[in-house]
Amino acid sequence: MLLLLPGLALAQSQDPTQTVTRDGVTLTQAQEQRAEAIGDQLRCLVCQNESIEGSSATLAKQLRIIIRQHVVAGDSNKSIMDYMVHRYGIFVLLKPPFSRLTLLLYATPVLALILGFLVAWLARRSKIPPPPPLDDAEQDRLERLLKS
């Protein structure tokens, strides 16, 4: 019986013209797949490291509705992405493009590594001399303190 299950799943091919309703928007199966692909590229502004398709936050649901409305309206993927970036900033992209605005974002790990090596090199280079040995009076005082 278990061997037949994959065959049943393949036998029920989905019709791309079949309509589905998701988040209150009715669209075809092909449009839904397109909307999901766009949503997978956008960051949930609440969860921050999760796509809006994988997030259960209210704002992510609202963004999914906006995307589906644009898909149904016939907007291109690029225009939908441009709309989202214009409205929410470049931070909404899970993989922001390399530009002047994101230069610091991409350069920070390299700068941190260089700074770490520099601090380690300076620490090794400038050894702090050990303190001078205790004189007899200080040694006697230390021994009395340790005994009490």
> Are residues 33 and 61 both part of a single domain?
yes
- Between vectors from CA 40 to CA 94 and to CA 99, what angle results, nearest 5°? 30
What digits encode the pLDDT tens for the residues 58-94? 999 999 999 999 999 999 999 999 999 999 888 888 8
> Are residues 82 and 118 both part of a single domain?
no
**What would the two tokens of residue 124 be?**
């090794």
For residue 3, tell me if it sits in a domain: no
> Are residues 125 and 74 both part of a single domain?
no
> Are residues 83 and 38 both part of a single domain?
yes
Q: One-letter amino acid identity for 100?
A: R
* Whole-number Å distance between alpha carbons of 86 and 92: 10
How many domains does the chain contain in total? 2
CATH assignment at residue 38: 1.10.8.640
Domain of 123, in residue numbers: 103-147
> Are residues 31 and 51 both part of a single domain?
yes
**What would the two tokens of residue 132 be?**
């001078």
What digits encode the pLDDT tens for the residues 3-22? 555 554 554 455 556 777 76
Verdict on whether the full-model pTM lies above 0.85: no
> Are residues 77 and 141 both part of a single domain?
no
> Are residues 57 and 80 both part of a single domain?
yes
For residue 2, tell me if it sits in a domain: no
* Whole-number Å distance between alpha carbons of 46 and 33: 23
